[in-house]
Structure 1
Amino acid sequence: MTILRGFAPWIVYAVIAGISDTSWRWAAVAAVVTGLGLILDDRRRGIAPDAQLLEISAVVFFVIVAVVGFVTSNSTFHEYDSALAFGWLALTAWGSLLIGRPFTEGIAKREVPQQYWGSDKFRRINRVITGAWALAFTLTAIAVWVIYRQGVGDTYDAIAQVLGFIAPISFTNWYKSRAAGAGDTDGAAQPTT
């Protein structure tokens, strides 16, 4: 799934930040480096910036995290990083819909032939899929914030975060299949997000 590539900085952050209570600052730096590496690699291959929205968003978020981490000596940011990260992803997804450039559309353009990019079906499919991701990110941000505030524990936090990705991935796969089975005569139902 092409969309998972865009989440590489977030995955790098999660892995490194999980090492210790102080590693989150360096995890943010590693996430910035990962995001910049993906962006530069894509630019070298001629990928347009609209297909890099997740990577660009990640770099901005993790630059902020790194600055906060290294400027403040006793930041409680790490306690809320899951909720803030999902909140940021939700803002990214909702914002891309608001400006009429659903983030999944840019990703789908990596694999769908250019002749279909302008079709109403291609745009509609990506609006629906991006909306599902935006909703999942929003609900996950709320869930992990509540889990943290209630002191329920890391296991529930991890479960909520995993579900926050599994649900929209499952919906994306189901919706693409449904759209393709609904008389796809223009090939536009193939966004491989």
Structure 2
Amino acid sequence: MRVGLTGGVASGKSSVADILRELGATIIDGDVLAREVVEKGTPGLERVVAAFGAEILTPDGDLDRPRLGQLVFNDPEQRRRLEAIVHPLVFERYAELESATGPDDLVVHDIPLLAESGRADGFDAVIVVDGPDDLRIERMLRDRGWTREDAESRIASQATREQRLAIATHVIDNAGSREQLRERVEQVFAELTSDRG
């Protein structure tokens, strides 16, 4: 079974992925793949440099993520340019990794921008990790050391809660305790694995 997992920034999606992995799901992480496809020496990095210029590289020739982030997160047109390069490469890698799994595996694609990509209907189920914007902002300030302005602009650059919830077959509310989160993830995992039988 192919499952999409998504959630806005600081929703707790990574925590949900970790619990699903512990329960036996195969996790394919979109953030990891997005970094992998633009590593030094890859065609992906060459395309990003061609689109945005050599100033987005570190002195060592790696992608300067903070610098690129400043360029794209406050400019929807620039963000779309970057996504048009990176998304197809990431989805190619998803397909390669998925083809290596077994027919009975629960394969969870951890895709931060699933609602934005328009690919939700390609999955048997979609899990959306949800939490109110004010709680997510609080987490970004506390856990990531971001400014309120950075946190608000990152939220504004992503799909709205309503857009994410519209693609969900399963919603995991992460506004409570770790124990409540784990209990809900276990419940969803049980529903998904019983659907396979």
Q: TM-score, normalised by structure 2?
A: 0.30
Higher helix residue share = 1
Q: TM-score, normalised by structure 1?
A: 0.30
